[in-house]
């Protein structure tokens, strides 16, 4: 049981990164109906930027913000040059995003190389609490994610922008009649989701090495998490992430290790068959719960 507790705690940190990605995907889809398959590559770019900065001597936590800024800019550029033209034809946007993901992968491979990149553990401490080894950096990842989730949740439910966002999602025209610049909100949400991906990438590389192909793996889990929770539902992304985290811990401890990726996907399929709208119900727009 001790060991399983250790597995759960380990999984929480990976689940945190997946939650960040899932939240970004669900927000962007919920508001703009944009399915951005390159979102995983956004995370990967965030990780690579972090690597470059840390290798150049920058403190990890500063590099983390650097990554968030870089991917935020990337998201802004992608939205302005690609996705804004496909808002009325989401399928085109989806196909373009697949192309974008391939382009980003190859740019990174050309600029750096295919070999995996890693940084030294920024904290390099292990706390031993009640027989369980808690790697400090992993705990920090979870803490940071909790803060970000709280900010996002309260932002959507309480802040003026959150209310305007929900209105835009609910009825774009009427929101415009309130004076809400809906297009700007689309851009804003896209940037926010991208920043979350950048943060996810920075946190991931602080835990273990990444490669230019890490994005392809992450995007599947990100969508799985959003779908499990209900596409468009921010709280759902959190629940979905926790569910996958639990599945990961169980499969790592008791399953066949070669099948670790398969288990979470099987769970997603089962949940979607039994409850197609997701556990908390998908919406046409970002909801808090």
88 is a site residue for other proteins (CB under 8 A): no
Q: Between the CA of residue 26 and those of 207, 267, 278, 284, 285, what are the distances in Å? A: 24, 19, 12, 10, 9
Question: Whole-angstrom Cα distance, residue 214 to residue 221?
Answer: 11
The smaller minimum CB distance to other proteins, of residues 135 and 224, is found at 135
Q: Which stretch binds other proteins (CB under 8 A): 4-12, 19-27, 56-64, 72-80?
A: 4-12
> In the block, which residue shows the tokens 């990726």?
261
258 is a site residue for other proteins (CB under 8 A): yes
Interface mask toward other proteins for 155-174; x: CB under 8 A: -----x--xx-xx--xx-xx
The correct pick among 56, 91, 115, 273 for binding other proteins (CB under 8 A) is 115
105 is a site residue for other proteins (CB under 8 A): no
The correct pick among 182, 199, 218, 231 for binding other proteins (CB under 8 A) is 182
The answer to whether the CB of 198 falls within 8 A of the CB of 45 is yes
Give the shortest CB-250-to-other proteins separation in angstroms.
Answer: 10
The correct pick among 80, 150, 208, 270 for binding other proteins (CB under 8 A) is 208
Residue ranges that bind other proteins, judged by CB under 8 A = 2-3, 6-7, 10-11, 14, 113-116, 118, 121, 126, 133, 135, 160, 163-164, 166-167, 170-171, 173-182, 207-211, 213-214, 248-249, 252-253, 257-258, 260-261, 287
């Amino acid at each position: 049981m001790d060991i399983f507790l250790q597995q759960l705690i380990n999984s929480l940190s990976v689940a945190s990164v997946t939650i960040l990605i899932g939240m970004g995907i669900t927000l962007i889809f919920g508001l703009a109906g944009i399915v951005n398959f390159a979102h995983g590559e956004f995370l990967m770019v965030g990780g690579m930027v972090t690597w470059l900065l840390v290798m150049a001597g920058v403190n990890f936590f500063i590099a983390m913000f650097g990554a968030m800024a870089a991917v935020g800019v990337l998201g802004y550029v992608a939205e302005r040059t690609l996705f804004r033209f496909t808002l009325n034809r989401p399928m085109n946007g989806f196909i373009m995003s697949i192309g974008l993901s391939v382009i980003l992968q190859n740019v990174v491979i050309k600029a750096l190389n295919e070999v995996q990149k890693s940084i030294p553990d920024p904290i390099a401490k292990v706390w031993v609490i009640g027989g369980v080894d808690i790697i400090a950096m992993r705990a920090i990842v979870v803490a940071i994610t909790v803060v970000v989730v709280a900010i996002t949740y309260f932002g959507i439910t309480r802040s003026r922008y959150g209310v305007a966002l929900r209105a835009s999602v609910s009825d774009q025209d009427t929101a415009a009649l309130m004076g809400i610049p809906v297009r700007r909100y689309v851009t804003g949400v896209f940037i926010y989701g991208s920043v979350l991906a950048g943060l996810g990438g920075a946190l991931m590389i602080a835990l273990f090495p990444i490669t230019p192909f890490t994005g392809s793996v992450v995007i599947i889990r990100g969508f799985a998490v959003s779908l499990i929770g209900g596409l468009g539902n921010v709280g759902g992304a959190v629940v979905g992430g926790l569910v996958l985290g639990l599945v990961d811990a169980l499969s790592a401890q008791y399953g066949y290790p070669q099948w670790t990726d398969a288990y979470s996907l099987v769970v997603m399929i089962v949940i979607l068959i039994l409850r197609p709208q997701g556990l908390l119900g998908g919406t046409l727009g970002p909801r808090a719960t």
